[in-house]
Amino acid sequence: MKSYKQLLLANKAWSMELKEENPDFFKRQLNGQMPDFLWIGCSDSRVNPEQMTMTPPGGMFIHRNIANLVNEDDINLMSVLQYAVAVLQVKHVIICGHYGCGGIMAAYDGQVDGPVDIWLENARAVRENHSAEIYNAGDREAQVNRFVEVNVRDQLVKLAQTKTVQAAFAAGQPLALHGWVYDLRDGLIKPLMEIDARTRLETIGQPERVLL
């Protein structure tokens, strides 16, 4: 079992290593951040955006929640989005789901207890809206994984409809939204879809099924 002390030891080693490689690294961090990416992903401990894309500190603004859901009444995510797009002027917003997602499994199975149940309401709506698509995908695992893909699509469309993104598109700000899925089995990310200012949202179909 890993003790919390392990984290502090590892942190010291990490800091020392970076300083050895680049003595100005932390000094430069004080100048502020100019990330090109906002990442919206699942809180799952196996899905680490910076590690799996080899992004150094300063490269990515990050928001994570269970099942990578987008709600316009989620003041946490809406603040992150506003700051990233309007102030930091990120060029890309990525929503990345992942196969075998526990949040999506819970929404697939029905009710759970407590706040998670309320949180997953949005995901259950995706299941209802695409029930034929999901339930025809094969066995339970295949259905859950199809649900993961369709969920990324619906959350990406909701993201595109937010006031922040619409304002950036209208102002001609360079901004693209990307829907991706991460595969726990091989560590690879599969791009599903992309939305930019020219995309007509009503024409966006279901993503290709990429998990074989």
Contact range with Zn ion by CB under 5 A, out of 75-83, 88-96, 103-111, 128-136: 103-111
Terminal Cα distance for the chain, rounded: 35
Which CB, 151 or 164, lies closer to Zn ion?
A: 151
Which CB, 19 or 46, lies closer to Zn ion?
A: 46
CA distance 97 to 32: 29
96 in a labelled binding site:
no
Residue 44 binds Zn ion (CB under 5 A) = yes
Residue 101 binds Zn ion (CB under 5 A) = yes
CA distance 131 to 119: 19
- Which residue matches tokens 């690294």? 25
Active site residue 178: no
Active site residue 92: no
Contact range with Zn ion by CB under 5 A, out of 36-44, 143-151, 167-175, 190-198: 36-44
130 in a labelled binding site:
no
> Count of CB atoms within 10 A of residue 168's CB?
20
Residues 6+ apart with CB under 8 A from 64: 39, 40, 41, 42, 43, 49
**Contact in structure between 192 and 149 (CB atoms under 8 Å):** yes
Residue 144 binds Zn ion (CB under 5 A) = no
Active-site residue, selected from the candidate residues 24, 28, 36, 42: 42
Instruction: For the CB of residue 19, give the shortest distance to Zn ion in the complex, in Å.
Output: 34
Residue 148 binds Zn ion (CB under 5 A) = no
Active site residue 64: no
Active site residue 44: yes
Q: Tell me the sheet residues that pair with 1.
A: none
Instruction: For the CB of residue 133, give the shortest distance to Zn ion in the complex, in Å.
Output: 20
User: CA nearest 199: which of 177, 181, 180?
Assistant: 177
3-state helix, strand, coil in the chain (%, to 5): 50, 15, 35
Instruction: For the CB of residue 101, give the shortest distance to Zn ion in the complex, in Å.
Output: 3
Residue 40 binds Zn ion (CB under 5 A) = no
Contact range with Zn ion by CB under 5 A, out of 101-109, 134-142, 171-179, 202-210: 101-109
Catalytic residue numbers? 42, 44, 46, 98, 101
